Chain A
Amino acid sequence: MRGWRDMLWPQLARGLFSRPLTDPAPAVPEVVAEALAVRLEEAARVRLGRSLAIRHVDAGSCNGCELEIHAAGNVVHDLERFGLRFVASPRHADVLLVTGPLTRNMREALERTAACMPEPCWVVAVGDCAADGGVFKGSPAVEGGIGTALPVDLLIPGCPPTPRQLLEGLLALLEAQAEPKPKPD
């Protein structure tokens, strides 16, 4: 009979010597993290810690942004390794991640979702549509960006933003929550 070692070793060896599927983490632009940190009070920083629970709301997207949010969770980008994860209820969420130009038909649903979020929380607008309506700006059926209904903390532009851009933005939130680094003398 083969011992457990025989079975485990080949696996461990593969893990050690093959390339991981996951991409290295993107770097966070310092200015973004600093700007975000300013928006966060000390108490909130302690409460949020080093992980974020995300609630996504599609407020009128073409679904292109959703495809890339999904991709940010695939094995290659794996946003969960950073302590970022999607949750089913806004009541469990620290981040409201919103896509789309905010259609009139979704405004109330978005506002109600936001009202369910515990404080402190971040509002992140994803995509050019969420920024100001994008190509749909000016249509009487849309409000023209998430900012028309909620105060937006972070905007991740792009049509759609790539998973890497999404990760950069979300990591900037984590960075802003981190303990301030001790200043070198």
Chain B
Amino acid sequence: MSTEPEALLRLIRHGQEQPCRPHPRHLLDRSQWAALVEALAASPEVALLGLWAEPAMVHAALVIGTEIRLVSCAAPEGRYQGLSPVRPAAAWFERMIRDLWGLVAEDGIDQRPWLDHGRWPATGPLALRPGPAPLSVPQPVFLPVEGEGVHQIPVGPVHAGVIEPGHFRFHVQGETVVRLEVRLGYVHKGQIGLMLGRPPRAAARFAARLSGDSTVAHSWAFAQAVEAATGAEVPPRALALRALMAELERLHNHLNDWGFACNDAAFAWPHARAGALREALLRAAAAAFGHRLMMDRVVPGGVTDDLRPGGAAAIEAALEAVAAELPRLASVYEGHASLADRVVGTGTVAPALAARFAAGGVVGRASGRDFDARRWPGYAPYGALTVPVLAEGDVDARLRLRLAEIGESIRLARGFLEGLPEGPLAAPLPQRGGEGLGLVEGFRGECLHWVALDDGGLLRAAFPRDPSWLHWPLLEAAIEGNIVADFPLINKSINGSYSGVDL
């Protein structure tokens, strides 16, 4: 029997409430945590947004009904009850927690290392007492596949194209993929360790570089978390400029992904046109904000830069160019049977699976999961917006949604530009302790940042969760039963960030 959201919330409220804003965090003891795990098993609709740790403590973010709640449990002796038996998406988080903080998930369904390849100077680098480095680099272990004629294809970490590094282990039977396992961690840079102990403005530079293609969204989510923690009031002009930048970022990435995916299906023209339009957007961003990707423009408290002279006109012109060509791009996409042949029915993510993994962004919405952080929980300056949703869950659905979202982003960006309020660009950040959560919809899905500041206003703990955490496992599922040759197409249609999850 499913636990009602109210019952689950009551269960969580038994834990001591911690002052996290805007969503409370409850500290559960071991038996309360165990009761929560049990309740999660009975409530598949409760979404796990993330699982992370700090020394001797684990935290999880959940969506329960219409509430977002953080729950924590102490991990004395370095152990805690894992969530992966009831939420398979937790497995990668648990492996990451073990590698970074040295905390072990009891009953965790997968105990293999994840980010730690045995090449760091210490194990558990974020633990109170990191361990010594291993004497030799261990061979990675992959899940076994048995059956007649099954063989393996190892790919990466260095790939044929200009993309991020990761290892893909295919088990194939003839041309058909029986299982894909993704092994990441190659671009682990020690992001969290670098953020800790710094003032928020300095730590923001790392949030901006968690995943360069989502630099605005991550910077904003981080800023939101810090502002929630400190109670800073962001001026309206800064909010509008942030949203303008965020929509430009969504636009250039959607164009990029859509064009590249068409290219992977041997359609070069959409790729060429999308590339030209994207270039126009990046140049407009550079003219308006002084940086093509708008990196480091969103900071805790506000934004660093106002629109430069001529910037608004440049953005309007670029938006107009994209808007003018959008119908043609769509009709070319629709009108070619050979393209449809490659994308329709390819790389399907079943809606039940997308829901189970709480997949955000286009990946979730192409499989019927109607979630967009701009609409819910929502944040200023966004008002009403149209968020298209499909249920097919294939490459086609993901590409269609990208095109469909372009139209809405143009409308939003124009609105922010026209209604730009006057006033200051940033508010001073109160220098004090606190804890906050930020949630901002990037082009991949919701970027989640959690921060805890000490009394001096420095980062005591932090976790940046890229939406790709909940997408990568779905890539493994989407490829099953497809042919190896369709992998690039399926991978591109999902487009997980490597840097974003490697931390």
- A residues with a Cβ closer than 8 A to B are 21, 56-71, 73-77, 86, 88-90, 100-101, 103-109, 113, 135-136, 138-142, 159-160, 162
The reply to whether A76 and B275 form a contact with Cβ atoms under 8 Å apart is yes
Task: Give the total number of A-B pairs whose CB atoms are below 8 A apart.
Answer: 136
B279 at interface by CB-CB < 8 Å: yes
The reply to whether B276 and A61 form a contact with Cβ atoms under 8 Å apart is no
The reply to whether B292 and A103 form a contact with Cβ atoms under 8 Å apart is no
Which B residues touch A103, using CB under 8 A? 186-189
Contact A63/B497 with A76-B275, A76-B279 known, Cβ cut-off 8 Å:
yes
Which A residues touch B292, using CB under 8 A? 68, 162
Interface residues of B in 271-290 (CB under 8 A from A): 272, 275-276, 278-279, 282, 286
| C-alpha gap A84/B498 in the complex (Å) | 27
- B residues with a Cβ closer than 8 A to A are 115, 117, 119-122, 125, 157-158, 160-165, 185-190, 193-194, 205-206, 209-213, 215, 256, 272, 275-276, 278-279, 282, 286, 292-293, 295, 497-499
Interface of B is mostly: loop
The reply to whether A65 and B209 form a contact with Cβ atoms under 8 Å apart is no
| C-alpha gap A103/B190 in the complex (Å) | 9
| C-alpha gap A17/B275 in the complex (Å) | 23
| C-alpha gap A55/B495 in the complex (Å) | 21
Contact A60/B189 with A75-B275, A109-B158 known, Cβ cut-off 8 Å:
yes
A-B pairs with lowest CB-CB distance, top 5? A64-B212, A141-B190, A74-B275, A88-B160, A139-B190
Contact A135/B209 with A21-B276, A63-B497, A109-B186 known, Cβ cut-off 8 Å:
yes
Contact A66/B164 with A140-B121, A140-B122, A160-B212 known, Cβ cut-off 8 Å:
yes
The reply to whether A105 and B119 form a contact with Cβ atoms under 8 Å apart is yes
The reply to whether A58 and B190 form a contact with Cβ atoms under 8 Å apart is no
Contact A88/B161 with A135-B206, A142-B189 known, Cβ cut-off 8 Å:
yes
The reply to whether A113 and B158 form a contact with Cβ atoms under 8 Å apart is yes
Please name 9 pairs of A and B residues whose Cβ atoms are closer than 8 Å in the assembled complex, sorted by A.
Answer: A70-B162, A70-B256, A88-B160, A103-B186, A105-B185, A106-B186, A108-B119, A138-B194, A159-B295
Which A residues touch B189, using CB under 8 A? 60, 101, 103, 136, 139, 141-142
Which B residues touch A21, using CB under 8 A? 276
Which B residues touch A88, using CB under 8 A? 160-161
Q: Nearest-CB distance from B469 to chain A (Å)?
A: 16
Q: Nearest-CB distance from B347 to chain A (Å)?
A: 22
